[in-house]
């Protein structure tokens, strides 16, 4: 063990310090200015990772975490830090990353969430033996969670009912090592604008004869549940994928915003924070600077989150998405909102771009955490849109992709961060690029 002084916060939420021999160490759970005693968890040739054993001199910005599972559960990283300071540190992380890559851009304060607690629109809980909860950070071990402070209150009610019902009904829990058993996950979704709650049971098997009894147990205690769904997923690498059947209700929940209404099916992606999603949609729309006659590509479009609003001020939107379920929902959402100039296309984004030779006056893209990738960026350079708005949930992959565009004749005109996930190190960032005039 060794005493370390923390210099700054870096990507993935680590506090950066130096060991006695000068080697850089990344410390989980430590904040700038603190002096901490650490235990090394991983040694590499030029740096090390460590965890805090005790805090010698703590930051005045530390607070008592509201959640009793904090530090044991991997759901949150910074719940023992003042929320205002979390936003400051996220901005500093972005500044550090962009400065190191020599990308010059002004980074305004991070847009905070209206709710710092109980903000999540979706949570994925896992079964393991008699436990139902969330996994530890960087681990598959499940922490038995009775109450989650970032979940909407109805989620905590469902957790209690399901935990008891599964025991009474003696439903076989999936064994992650033996890859045998039935019940794997409990996924909960909530629509803040309509107060609609969806309960999703994810199983290894297609056969799930306990659905009726679980439905009865849930509705007896929580009669306002909007939908109960059974998803059949034989893969362990992803939680929410596979065919599904509706046990109760419509099998979708509806979320409403300023201008649009979305139906969200069980397995489709939708942003995890309602208030931040509303701000994000507004910002993306404004950054595109639409004039009314453009053809817009919406890449990784999901259920049409950005497409609907964009369609009000352009000639046509082509929404490209690889998920069949999400594409079906995007088409339904275009119809619900009366938008006939939205075309939802099912397919891989790169494959679509390689075969596309139509107009692309403006582009918005919101890829998964791995980013769009350099090949997609090169295809965008070929199409040469006037303006590109890139929504990212991972700054390093955003920077990797931006460098291709910057080297290809685009300028970075603005960067704006949003706090989609309070109490975590995750940063949602929107980069706006404009084609440089020759």
Catalytic residues: 393
Give CA–CA dist 152/291, Å, rounded.
39
157-171 b/e (C-beta count within 10 Å ≥ 16 → b)? bbbebbbebbeeeeb
Q: Provide the token pair at 388.
A: 């590109």
Q: Provide the token pair at 18.
A: 């130096």
- Residue 256, phi then psi, degrees to nearest 5: -120, 140
**Is 228 in contact with 202 (CB distance < 8 Å)?**
no
| Helix segments in 291-386, DSSP class H | 307-311, 324-336, 349-355, 374-383
Residue pointed to by tokens 């919101």: 366
Give CA–CA dist 198/244, Å, rounded.
13
> Strand 183-191 to strand 142-144: parallel, antiparallel, or no bridges (unpaired)?
unpaired
End-to-end alpha carbon distance in the chain? 58
Q: Provide the token pair at 110.
A: 């991070």
Q: Provide the token pair at 40.
A: 């090394």
For the chain, give the number of residues.
438
Q: What count of other Cβ atoms lies within 10 Å of the Cβ of residue 256?
A: 13
> DSSP letters along 58-107, please?
--TTB---S-TTBTTBSS-S-TTB-HHHHHHHHHHHHHHHHHHTT-----
Give CA–CA dist 224/253, Å, rounded.
13
Name which of 45, 47, 42, 9 is nearest 25 in CA terms. Answer: 47
Residue pointed to by tokens 């809980």: 125
């Amino acid at each position: 063990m060794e005493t370390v002084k923390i210099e700054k916060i870096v990507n993935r939420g680590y506090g950066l310090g130096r060991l006695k021999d000068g080697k850089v160490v990344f410390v989980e759970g430590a904040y700038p200015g603190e002096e901490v005693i650490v235990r090394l968890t991983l040694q590499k040739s030029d740096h090390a990772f460590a965890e805090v054993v005790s805090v010698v001199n703590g930051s005045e910005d530390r607070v008592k975490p509201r959640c009793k599972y904090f530090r044991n559960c991997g759901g949150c990283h910074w719940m023992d830090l003042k929320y205002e300071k979390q936003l400051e540190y996220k901005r500093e992380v972005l500044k550090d990353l962009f400065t190191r890559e020599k990308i010059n851009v002004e980074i305004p304060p991070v847009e905070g969430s209206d709710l710092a607690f109980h903000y999540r629109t979706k949570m994925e809980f896992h079964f393991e033996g008699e436990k139902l909860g969330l996994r530890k950070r960087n681990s598959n071990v499940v922490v038995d969670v009775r109450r989650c402070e970032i979940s909407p209150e109805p989620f905590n009610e469902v957790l209690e009912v399901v935990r008891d019902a599964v025991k009474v009904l003696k439903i076989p829990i999936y064994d992650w090592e033996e890859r045998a058993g039935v019940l794997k996950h409990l996924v909960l979704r909530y629509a803040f604008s309509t107060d609609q709650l969806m309960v999703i049971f994810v199983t290894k098997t297609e056969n799930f004869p306990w659905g009726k009894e679980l439905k009865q147990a849930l509705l007896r205690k929580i009669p306002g549940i909007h939908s109960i769904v059974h998803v059949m997923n034989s893969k362990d690498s992803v939680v929410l994928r596979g065919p599904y059947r509706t046990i109760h209700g419509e099998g979708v929940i509806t979320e409403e915003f300023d201008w649009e209404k979305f139906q969200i099916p069980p397995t489709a992606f939708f942003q995890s924070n309602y208030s931040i999603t509303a701000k994000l949609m507004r910002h993306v729309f404004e950054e595109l600077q639409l004039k009314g006659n453009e053809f817009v590509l919406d890449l990784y479009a999901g259920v049409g989150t950005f497409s609907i609003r964009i369609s009000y001020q352009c000639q046509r939107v082509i929404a490209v998405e690889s998920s069949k379920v999400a594409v079906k929902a995007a088409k339904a959402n275009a119809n619900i909102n009366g938008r006939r100039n939205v075309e939802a296309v099912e397919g891989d984004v790169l494959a679509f771009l390689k075969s596309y030779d139509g107009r692309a006056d403006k582009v918005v893209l919101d890829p998964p955490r791995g980013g769009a990738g350099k090949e997609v960026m090169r295809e965008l350079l070929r199409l040469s849109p006037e303006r590109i708005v890139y929504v990212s949930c991972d700054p390093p992959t955003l920077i990797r992709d931006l460098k291709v565009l910057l080297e290809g004749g685009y300028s970075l005109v603005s960067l704006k961060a949003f706090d989609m996930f309070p109490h975590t190190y995750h940063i949602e960032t929107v980069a706006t690029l404009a084609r440089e005039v020759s």
